[in-house]
């Protein structure tokens, strides 16, 4: 099955999960799983939140990300993945003040 994200409407989420600024998503959802192509604008964040009933995988396409994860912090570069298993918490931050952070996220 091919998912063409360019044909999916991009939705802006202002202060997503309590974060700062805008996060933009093109989301495929089959009723169980979400696959998202995301863009976190320069200087914006996705707020710290828990995954009580699902897990999330974030793959960085371009830009550098900071991730708070269960009280610690990680730095992610293109080609790296962040995994937040069910029962854990995380956030995503784009500290770059000039370029967006591009990523794919899968919530199973």
Q: What tens digit of pLDDT does each residue of 38-53 get?
A: 999 999 999 999 999 9
pLDDT at position 6 is 97
pTM for this one?
0.93
Averaged pLDDT, 87-104: 95
pLDDT at position 97 is 86
Fold designation for 11-94: Jelly Rolls (2.60.120)
22-29, strands of its sheet edge to edge: 11-14, 22-29, 34-40, 101-107, 56-62, 81-84
Give the model's confidence band at 71: pLDDT under 50 very low, under 70 low, under 90 confident, else very high: confident
Strand locations in the chain, DSSP E?
11-14, 22-29, 34-40, 45-51, 56-62, 65-69, 72-76, 81-84, 88-93, 101-107
88-93, strands of its sheet edge to edge: 45-51, 88-93, 65-69, 72-76
Task: Using alpha carbons only, give the angle 58, 63, 68 rounded to the nearest 5 degrees.
Answer: 50
């Amino acid at each position: 099955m091919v998912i063409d994200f360019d044909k999916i409407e991009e939705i802006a989420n202002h202060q997503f999960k309590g974060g700062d600024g805008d996060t933009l998503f093109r989301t495929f959802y089959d009723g169980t799983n979400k696959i998202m192509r995301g863009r976190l604008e320069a200087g914006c964040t996705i707020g710290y939140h828990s995954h009580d009933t699902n897990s999330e995988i974030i793959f960085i396409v371009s830009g550098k990300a900071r991730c708070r994860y269960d009280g610690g912090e990680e730095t992610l570069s293109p080609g790296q993945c962040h995994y937040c298993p069910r029962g854990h918490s995380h956030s995503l931050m784009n500290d770059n003040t000039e370029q967006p952070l591009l990523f794919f996220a899968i919530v199973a």
